[in-house]
Amino acid sequence: MTQLVQLDYTLVTYIVIAVFGLVGFMRGWWKEAFTTGLLALLLLLLKQPDAATGIVDFIDRLVVSGWEAVQTLRQSSDMIAAAMPVEEPPVIDPKNRSIYIIILVAAVIASYFFSKIGLTESMSAAARIIGGVLGVYNGYVVLTLVREFLIGRFLPGGADMAAAAVAPTSVQVEVTNLPQSSMADAPYVYYWVAVGCLALLVALITAVKLGRQQPWGYSSGKSKGGTSNGAKK
């Protein structure tokens, strides 16, 4: 039987933004800026469905090419052919809303792993505060993207996309208190995109210029005498 689970969107918003803000405070502005930039690009794609379709089609071509390579390898050996039954290649449909949610999750995870390169031992209070602000921004953008990906208003196909069927044994989630508009409706949505791109650009320029040094607000964890905290073992 289907169980209905109600979620208050306002409560979810507070929780998600608080979590992202805390994570941003702990990571600092430089690391958080990479996530901000990627989310801003996804927000831009939300307003440009043709570009989103092109990207998904490109991913689909890559998947099909890889599938064809596997099938070629399969035909080269009877042992491999016996172990790998013939199947149709997976199709990535630009109108499938779950694809965009997967891309969103992958982008956030990738940005968090990428920003771990060149870890610093300590940060100033300003670096943490700015990181927290960017984290709040990221949380709000993630909520906006998830909301619009589920509704599908700005995705290829728009309102013509049929709702996905729910299996009888699944848990149906109903989000209540959903606002009528979101960041994607606002005329200043491109200002939000500009903020994310600017944060990413500053982080990239800082990384190139500083090399092995630390970005603004970060320190290498050295003591006043110039000795690293981890020098003594």
Model pLDDT for residues 128-180, shown as the tens digit of each residue: 999 999 999 999 999 988 888 877 777 776 644 434 433 334 446 666 677 77
Segment 164-178, tens digit of pLDDT: 433 334 446 666 677
Percent of the chain scoring above 90 in pLDDT: 11
pLDDT at 63: 81
End-to-end CA distance of the chain: 60
pLDDT at 231: 45
Asked, for residue 231, whether it belongs to a domain, the answer is: no
Asked, for residue 141, whether it belongs to a domain, the answer is: yes
Q: Is the pLDDT of residue 39 over 70?
A: yes
State the total domains in the chain: 1
pLDDT at 18: 94
**Residue 114's domain spans which residues?**
7-58+95-219
Asked, for residue 87, whether it belongs to a domain, the answer is: no
Q: Which residues of the chain form beta strands (DSSP E)?
A: 3-8, 122-123, 171-176, 218-219
Segment 73-93, tens digit of pLDDT: 767 766 666 666 666 767 777
Asked, for residue 77, whether it belongs to a domain, the answer is: no
* Pairwise CA distance, residues 183 & 99, whole Å: 21
| Encoded tokens for 169 | 């044994």
Q: Is the pLDDT of residue 4 over 70?
A: no
Predicted confidence band of residue 34 (pLDDT cuts 50, 70, 90) = confident
pLDDT at 230: 45
Asked, for residue 84, whether it belongs to a domain, the answer is: no
Q: What is the DSSP string of 80-134?
A: HHHHS---PPP---TT-HHHHHHHHHHHHHHHHHHTTTT--SEE-HHHHHHHHHH
Asked, for residue 66, whether it belongs to a domain, the answer is: no
pTM above 0.75, yes or no: no
Query: Which residues, 6+ apart, have CB-to-CB distance to 124 below 8 Å?
Result: 217, 218, 219
pLDDT at 165: 36
Asked, for residue 2, whether it belongs to a domain, the answer is: no
Asked, for residue 67, whether it belongs to a domain, the answer is: no
